[in-house]
Amino acid sequence: MSLWHPSTVLAATLLVPALACAAPYSGEAASPPAPAQAPGWAYSATGMYYVPTDESNFLLVIATADRGSLHLEARYNYEALDTASLFAGWKFSGGDALTYELTPILGAVFGATQGIAPGFEASLAYGMVDYYIEAEYLYDLDVKEDSYTYAWSELGFGPVKWLRFGLVGQRTRVYNTDRAIQGGGFVQFILGKTTLGFYVFNPGDSADQLAIVSLAAEF
């Protein structure tokens, strides 16, 4: 759901290439290279406060843990209200001017809704423009007819380091809506490792508007 899931919309998507430098010859024997350090864990947490027009407000929470290419994720109120999910995936990334990242994931859903959820998270970036999408198919183990495809996507523009804005779309059943696909806009303010975001869906439809306030942090 940066939105953008949110959980997301809210994680870094660019791979920064490492720069290698050759030491100048000093006339002395070179010291043996230091052993490569194993990648450490990186964590993030995102809270998204949903304000639907005709339903109760609720909080969606996403937490991630990454070590190298391994990606772990926990969600609450994402697939359905009063429902949690746990995911594991593997990241593939690359590119130079145009960078990409793709993470296939597989998750277990439990709580008010129980099921299995295969999906993916992906991003592209070129200069100040980026695109992000997260999608999954929720296979409901209790009521097969309630199985559905969830998706959240963002087309973002970052003219300066502290600002990102753009278009957002989603397909969800977390709350009742007459629209199969919802669209709107967003703006994010990036303050170091903390991101504050505001989203508005269906801005021209007063009966089906949705506002979201998000706060994400990296550790």
pLDDT bracket for residue 100 (50, 70, 90): very high
* More confident: 156 or 6: 156
Could you give the CA distance from residue 96 to residue 125 in angstroms, rounded to a whole number?
10
User: In this predicted structure, what is the pLDDT of residue 99?
Assistant: 98
| Segment among 10-24, 59-73, 109-123, 142-156 with least mean pLDDT | 10-24
User: In this predicted structure, what is the pLDDT of residue 37?
Assistant: 61
CB-facing half-sphere around the CA of 7: CA atoms within 13 A: 27
Residue found by looking up tokens 């995102």 in the block = 46
Whether pTM exceeds 0.95: no
pLDDT in tens, 34-88: 555 667 999 999 999 999 998 999 999 999 999 999 999 999 999 999 999 999 9
Domain ranges of the chain: 41-218
Could you give the CA distance from residue 9 to residue 13 in angstroms, rounded to a whole number?
9
* Domain at 41-218: CATH code: 2.40.160.40
Tell me what the mean pLDDT of segment 111-136 comes to: 98
**Burial class of residue 210, CB neighbours in 10 A (0-12, 13-18, 19+):** buried
pLDDT in tens, 173-201: 898 888 889 999 999 999 999 999 999 99
Could you give the CA distance from residue 135 to residue 51 in angstroms, rounded to a whole number?
22
pLDDT in tens, 138-179: 999 999 999 999 999 999 999 999 999 999 999 998 988 888
